[in-house]
């Protein structure tokens, strides 16, 4: 039963990737009543910026960056018994790399550092887009 579910998921994923590949190779149809070159003026000056694909347009958009030490599941009964000084055991091990997530998506791993009496994280491994796709297939 599980094999059938995995085969169906793989088939759906392959179809989606094929559809995306076909969409990127086709020329988009111009919008009705609008000049096709309107998006070239999108940067405001009418000239192309030095950043590819006008990436500077999105550079100020805030995202949520999270460093995850570990996770655990607890029953509501145990949760209600927590008090100051209680210890909650996480599944992460001491010395293990911490996960760095952007908007809930794993992008890197790193180790905890202290800089000017504040915690930080030194990135040790960046997750490539290809690796993220492989993890989705599991």
Mean pLDDT value of segment 46-58: 65
Long-range contacts of residues 107-111, Cβ cutoff 8 Å, at least 24 apart: 110/67
For residue 101, what are the domain limits?
62-138
Question: How high is the pLDDT of residue 83?
Answer: 93
Reported as a single tens digit per residue, the pLDDT across 7-44 is: 666 677 777 777 766 554 554 544 455 555 545 555 55
10/82 Cα distance (integer angstroms): 43
Report residue 105's pLDDT band, with 50, 70 and 90 as the boundaries: confident
- 16 occurs within a structural domain: no
Name the pLDDT band for 122 (thresholds 50, 70, 90). Answer: very high
- If we measure between CA atoms, which residue out of 72, 109, 111 comes closest to residue 90? 72
Whether 114 is in a domain gets the answer yes
CATH number of the domain that 110 lies in?
2.30.330.10
Answer yes or no: is 121 within a domain.
Answer: yes
**Does residue 104 lie in a domain region?**
yes
Distance CA 125, CA 100 (A): 10
Residue 13 lies in a domain: no
pTM across the whole model:
0.50
- Helix%, strand%, coil% for the chain, nearest 5: 35, 20, 45
For 56-70, what is the mean pLDDT? 88
Query: Is 115 domain-assigned?
Result: yes
Indicate the number of domains in the chain.
1
| Residues 6+ positions from 88 with CB-CB distance below 8 Å | 72, 74, 82
Which pLDDT belongs to residue 38?
A: 47
Q: Let me know if residue 36 belongs to a domain.
A: no
Q: Is residue 123 part of a domain?
A: yes
């Amino acid at each position: 039963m599980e094999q059938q579910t995995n085969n169906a998921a793989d088939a759906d994923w392959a179809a989606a990737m094929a559809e995306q590949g076909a969409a990127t190779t086709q020329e988009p149809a111009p919008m009705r009543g609008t000049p096709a070159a309107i998006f070239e003026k999108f940067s405001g000056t009418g000239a192309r910026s030095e950043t590819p694909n006008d990436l500077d347009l999105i550079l100020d958009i805030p995202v949520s960056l999270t460093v995850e030490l570990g996770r655990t599941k607890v029953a509501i009964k145990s949760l209600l018994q927590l008090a100051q000084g209680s210890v909650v055991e996480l599944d992460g091990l001491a010395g293990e790399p911490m996960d760095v997530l952007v908007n809930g998506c794993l992008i890197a791993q790193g180790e905890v550092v202290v800089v000017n009496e504040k915690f930080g994280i030194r990135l040790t491994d960046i997750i490539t887009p290809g690796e993220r796709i492989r993890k989705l297939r599991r």
